[in-house]
């Protein structure tokens, strides 16, 4: 950052203070306007992003993000949304090429992610999508989710199995990440274009995913919200054990050993 700051300070003394102020404020703006900031801020971010990219991503994705066969695909045209998804969910960077990308702690801070996103976005492609979860259309979201998502992620968002991969639980996904995944189709997830699921549909889906994190558990302790497996465990490990104990209290034990 000091390099970039010194580049601004050098040519214009009058704009130096303003430039420093912009640079100081840019990181706190980044989460709200990832790749769509004002002119100066965007290219600042992009070039910062490039240096981060060269450092952490180019070994698989190539120095110019054109990809390396057998290691990582080209990122030209994938869009800022894709970069934001993979980075903010910690799926990238991978430990080794071909590993299944799984959600983990993001390696980069929010400002670094904003920079990387700006860099990848500079090659074109869909931007970070705008989502506002529409709770008035929760029912439509439930229907869409059942039809397009529940087959892998389970109707309660608990995650599931597809042959060869795990569909993760959705309870940590932000609405933006949901929208991004829907459009990209990361790893083996199918993708849904805007003709199939338009903006309103995605807003409804995002609302349902939000709901699924804290659904109506009118029945009490929800034991995982995936149905009969934990229910059976409770029946055996809680109820059966308790009732066996009651039976032991009521009945006698055998007398032969002199107990």
SS3 166: strand
For residue 13, the minimal CB distance to other proteins (Å) is 49
Q: Which of these, 96, 55, 108, lies nearest to 72 by C-alpha position?
A: 96
SS3 162: strand
- Residue 143 and residue 146: Cα distance in Å, rounded? 5
243 contributes a contact to other proteins by CB under 8 A: yes
244 contributes a contact to other proteins by CB under 8 A: yes
- Kindly indicate which of the ranges 18-26, 109-117, 118-126, 211-219 contains the residues binding other proteins, using the contact rule CB under 8 A: 211-219
Residues in 85-114 that interact with other proteins by CB under 8 A: 98, 100
Question: Which residues neighbour 105 within 8 Å (Cβ) at sequence distance 6 or greater?
Answer: 90
Cβ(156)–Cβ(84) under 8 Å?
Answer: no
259 contributes a contact to other proteins by CB under 8 A: no
Residues in 180-209 that interact with other proteins by CB under 8 A: 184-193, 195-196, 208
69 contributes a contact to other proteins by CB under 8 A: no
String of contacts with other proteins for each residue 116-155, x by CB under 8 A: ----------------------xx-xxx--xxx-xxxxxx
- Residue 167 and residue 153: Cα distance in Å, rounded? 6
CA 14 to chain centroid, in Å, comes to 42
- Residue 12 and residue 234: Cα distance in Å, rounded? 71
- Kindly indicate which of the ranges 5-13, 24-32, 126-134, 239-247 contains the residues binding other proteins, using the contact rule CB under 8 A: 239-247
- Kindly indicate which of the ranges 7-15, 44-52, 125-133, 234-242 contains the residues binding other proteins, using the contact rule CB under 8 A: 234-242
For residue 57, the minimal CB distance to other proteins (Å) is 15
For residue 207, the minimal CB distance to other proteins (Å) is 9
CA dihedral 140, 146, 150, 155 (to 10 degrees): 80
- Kindly indicate which of the ranges 23-31, 50-58, 170-178, 219-227 contains the residues binding other proteins, using the contact rule CB under 8 A: 219-227
**How many chain residues interact with other proteins (CB under 8 A)?**
80
| Residue 72 DSSP code | B
76 contributes a contact to other proteins by CB under 8 A: no
For residue 238, the minimal CB distance to other proteins (Å) is 8
- Residue 219 and residue 198: Cα distance in Å, rounded? 35
Rounded (5°) CA angle 170-90-41: 110
- Residue 172 and residue 218: Cα distance in Å, rounded? 22
54 contributes a contact to other proteins by CB under 8 A: no
31 contributes a contact to other proteins by CB under 8 A: no
Query: In this complex, which beta carbon is closest to other proteins, that of residue 10 or of residue 247?
Result: 247
Query: In this complex, which beta carbon is closest to other proteins, that of residue 53 or of residue 208?
Result: 208
- Residue 170 and residue 154: Cα distance in Å, rounded? 10
């Amino acid at each position: 950052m000091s390099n970039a700051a010194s580049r601004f300070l050098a040519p214009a003394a009058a704009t130096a203070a303003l430039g420093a102020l912009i640079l100081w404020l840019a990181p706190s703006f980044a989460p709200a306007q990832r790749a769509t900031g004002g002119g100066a801020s965007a290219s600042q971010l992009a070039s910062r992003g490039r240096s981060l990219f060269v450092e952490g991503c180019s070994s698989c994705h190539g120095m110019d993000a054109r990809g390396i066969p057998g290691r990582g695909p080209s990122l030209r045209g994938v869009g800022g949304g894709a970069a934001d998804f993979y980075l903010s969910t910690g799926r990238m960077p991978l430990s080794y090429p071909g590993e299944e990308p799984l959600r983990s702690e993001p390696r980069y801070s929010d400002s670094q992610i904003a920079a990387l996103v700006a860099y990848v976005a500079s090659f074109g492609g869909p931007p970070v999508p705008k989502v506002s979860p529409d709770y008035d259309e929760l029912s439509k979201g439930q229907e869409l989710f059942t039809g397009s998502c529940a087959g892998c992620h389970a109707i309660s968002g608990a995650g599931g199995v597809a042959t060869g991969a795990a569909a993760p639980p959705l309870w940590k996904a932000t609405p933006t990440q949901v929208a991004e995944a829907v459009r990209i189709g990361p790893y083996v997830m199918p993708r849904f274009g805007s003709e199939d699921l338009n903006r309103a549909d995605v807003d409804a889906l995002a609302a349902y995913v939000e709901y699924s994190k804290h659904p109506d558990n009118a029945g009490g302790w929800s034991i995982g919200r995936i149905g009969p497996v934990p229910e059976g465990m409770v029946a055996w490990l809680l109820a059966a054990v308790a009732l066996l104990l009651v039976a032991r209290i009521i009945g006698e034990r055998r007398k032969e050993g002199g107990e």
